[in-house]
Amino acid sequence: MAKKILIIGAVALGPKVACRLRRLDPNAEITLLDKDNIISYGGCGIPYYVGGDINDLEDLYSTSAHVLRDTDFFTHCKGITVRTQVEAIAIDRTAQTVTIRDLTCGSEEVLPYDKLVLATGATPIRPPVPGCDLPQVFTLANLHEAEKIKSLMTSGKIGRAAVIGGGAIGVEISEAMTDLWGIETSLIEMEDQILPTLLGKCIARIVKSHLEEKGVRVLIDEKVKEITETGTRGCRVETSNNIIEADIVILATGVRPSTGLAAEAGLALGSTGGILVDRRLRTSDKNIYAGGDCVELRNLVSGENMLMALGSLANRQGRIIATNIHGGNSHFDGTVGTFCMKVFDLGLGKAGLTYRQAKETGFDPVYAVISQADHAHFYPQSELLYISLIADRRSRKILGIEAAGKHGEAVKARVDTVAVLLRHGVTVDEICEMEAGYAPPFASAMDAVNNAGNALDNILAGLNVPIDAHDFLNRFRLGTSKVLDTRGEKEAAPFIDKYGDRWLNIPQNELRRRIEEIPRDEELYLMCDTGPRSYEAQVVLTTKGITNTLNIQGGFAMVRMTDPEFI
């Protein structure tokens, strides 16, 4: 008899399971259920639809051959039964049935299953802030909400926006509003940096500076206290430090796995609140699989379980679930948290743990930050890459990488190569020797990633005694310490004008013969354009017994990206 497969949830994971399973098993009776009437859409495209990069909502639920992925498509093209606008309200694990309710008429029905797949996704979190339910306050839960927001934009009624939450969605939607619509946008984050779960402070500061350069007002370290209505259609967001007037408020304070159905059926949930699954993506009931945003995953670097709502993970898990339902033995081992995004003209990416996460997990993290051209420096149109590479001091194991730069694809190339190695537990040495493709239009002979590894190797060896641009700026602002600038006189001149005798300049090629000019009694920050010359200067000075120096990682390039006002 044909196997009955029931899949609850028809976005990303659900359709992937259904389509793959149909290809593996021509006879299975496969039914996809969803509460919504629009299914199988690319939710990650929502910010680009709101921002106008994508014009038609339908593009988000069409195939690459421009065919709508609707009920008809699944029925005729894929041979899969789809039932939309139905809600699964209970699972009877003993009887192997699911009770569903038709949301258009309220009638209920009981569907049997041999294997059940939970692809229930996640729900936006509405923080317990008064006013979160005002009509001006939106989440980006689904395409309907996206459509409402976009129609407000196109109507021209929105002049000012407040986005609450500086995570990926908050940053993307801030760009969408500012870029095409010219809306005065304030992005509010309660942590002391944006993208706090994704980036360490150095790369996060680059992103913040870039957002500000593009006109987004970024408020960090600010808690939203209340949202109130003003006049006919405006509202006011009160934070711990500010009052922001806005015509629209977007809540981007994260999502929570939708696990009600699973919990009521007695399936095990994990410590982070997601459904617990094994490597085969089975729940605690061997006839029920789960994947996508509703499950928790093993972080392969920290070893701890985590939530990671990402369409790419969902799709890959969907394939694995289908293989396993069909009797195969396919594994999803976990994630190293690889991530990338575009923020205006900047691409950024990360994998593994941030410094803070590494510390919290019990590692002894140490990191290098470098600035380097993404192409051979003699090849035109190169852009700087900013890379932070983190390792554990004791084991030399790589824990994470973060990067940003104007050539987004070049950033992605660097992050991804380290990302895929993370699960192999590689050390700094393998990054130094890493063999990525080299040609002048695409890389330097010593690639930026290799150099990030080299810098970290030198730091671990005690040859390079670093300070990052963020810490340097904080300390320099306190007022006494000096900078030794090893660039040419012309480059240093405006800095000497601004900072006077706190700014010493000895060009690199004069350093060996002008050692006597260097003060030995106070802390000295060494700076060049991007870092290599100040590192070399530090080595020379150490040799001469001058050890009161800190080498500014990534040089002036990194300082400027961290604080564009520095000069």
Q: Which of residues 323-362 bind its own copies (CB under 8 A)?
A: 330-333, 335-336, 338-342, 347, 349, 351
Please tell me whether residue 388 adopts helix, strand or coil conformation.
strand
Least spacing, CB of residue 74 vs its own copies, in Å: 10
Q: Is 316 in the site for its own copies (CB under 8 A)?
A: yes
| Closest residue by Cα to residue 431 from 476, 371, 367, 511 | 367
Among 21, 31, 73, 210, binds its own copies (CB under 8 A): 73
465 touching its own copies, by CB under 8 A: no
**Site for its own copies contains 443 (CB under 8 A):** yes
Question: For residue 76, what is the DSSP state?
Answer: I
Site of tokens 């981007």: 252
Site string for its own copies, 209-248 (x = CB under 8 A): ----------------------------------------
Quick one: DSSP state of residue 59?
G
| Pairwise CA distance, residues 175 & 211, whole Å | 8
Find the binder of its own copies among 156, 437, 462, 545 (CB under 8 A): 437
Amino acid, res. 148: K
Choose which of 125, 220, 465, 539 interacts with its own copies (CB under 8 A).
Answer: 539
d(CA 399, CA 385): 20
For 137, other C-beta atoms within 10 Å of its C-beta total 20
Q: How far apart are CA 422 and CA 436, in angstroms?
A: 16
Nearer CB in complex with its own copies: 156/380: 380
Distance separating alpha carbons of residues 114 and 95, to the nearest angstrom: 10
Compare residues 169 and 262 and give the one whose CB is closer to its own copies.
Answer: 169
Q: Are 391 and 559 in contact (CB under 8 A)?
A: no
Instruction: Tell the smallest beta-carbon distance from residue 380 to its own copies (Å).
Output: 6
Specify the stretch interacting with its own copies by CB under 8 A; choose among 30-38, 131-139, 250-258, 438-446.
438-446
Residue 513's contacts (CB-CB under 8 Å, 6 or more residues apart) are: none
Q: How far is the CB of 239 from its own copies (least distance, A)?
A: 28
Strand residue runs (E) in 344-499: 346-352, 365-373, 384-392, 398-405, 466-467, 482-485
Residue 409 CB, nearest distance to its own copies (Å)?
A: 3
Cβ-based nearer residue to its own copies, 162 or 550: 550
**Bridge partners (DSSP) listed for residue 525:** 483, 550
Interface stretch with its own copies, choices 55-63, 111-119, 255-263, 519-527 (CB under 8 A): 55-63
Closest approach of its own copies to the CB of residue 89, in Å: 29
Span between the terminal Cα atoms of the chain, in Å: 75
CA–CA separation, 332 vs 337, rounded Å?
14
Nearer to its own copies, 147 or 245 (CB): 147
Q: Are the beta carbons of 553 and 369 closer than 8 angstroms?
A: yes
> Nearer Cβ to its own copies, position 236 or 423?
423
Binding mask 390-409 for its own copies (x = CB under 8 A): -----------------xxx
Residues between 14 and 53 that touch its own copies (CB under 8 A):
16, 23-24, 26, 42, 44-45, 48, 53
Q: What are residue 370's DSSP bridge partners?
A: 387
Range 489-495 contact pairs with CB under 8 angstroms and sequence separation of 24 or more: 491/529, 494/567, 495/567
- Which residues, in sequence order, are bridge partners of residue 123? 256
Contact 432, 453 (CB under 8 A): yes
Decide the pairing of beta strands 234-239 and 524-527. unpaired
Which CB atom, from 231 or from 513, has the smaller least distance to its own copies? Answer: 513
Q: Amino acid letter at 544?
A: K
Q: Which of 278, 439, 497, 517 binds its own copies (CB under 8 A)?
A: 439
Tell the smallest beta-carbon distance from residue 22 to its own copies (Å). Answer: 8
Min dist. Cβ of residue 253 to its own copies (A)? 20
Stretch that binds its own copies, among 127-135, 253-261, 266-274, 376-384 (CB under 8 A): 376-384
Which one of residues 99, 242, 315, 361 is an interface residue with its own copies (CB under 8 A)? 315
Q: How many residues does the chain have?
A: 567
Decide: is 377 part of the binding site for its own copies (CB under 8 A): yes
- Lay out the site mask for its own copies across 478-497 (x = CB under 8 A, - = otherwise): ---------xx---------
Q: Is 445 in the site for its own copies (CB under 8 A)?
A: yes
What does residue 126 show for φ and ψ, rounded to 5 degrees? -100, 110
Return the closest-CA partner of residue 294 out of 325, 273, 311, 316. 273
Choose, by CB under 8 A, the member of 463, 493, 496, 546 that binds its own copies: 463
Question: Among 85, 142, 272, 508, which residue sits at the site for its own copies (rule: CB under 8 A)?
Answer: 508
Which among 97-105, 197-205, 437-445, 519-527 is the span making contact with its own copies, rule CB under 8 A?
A: 437-445
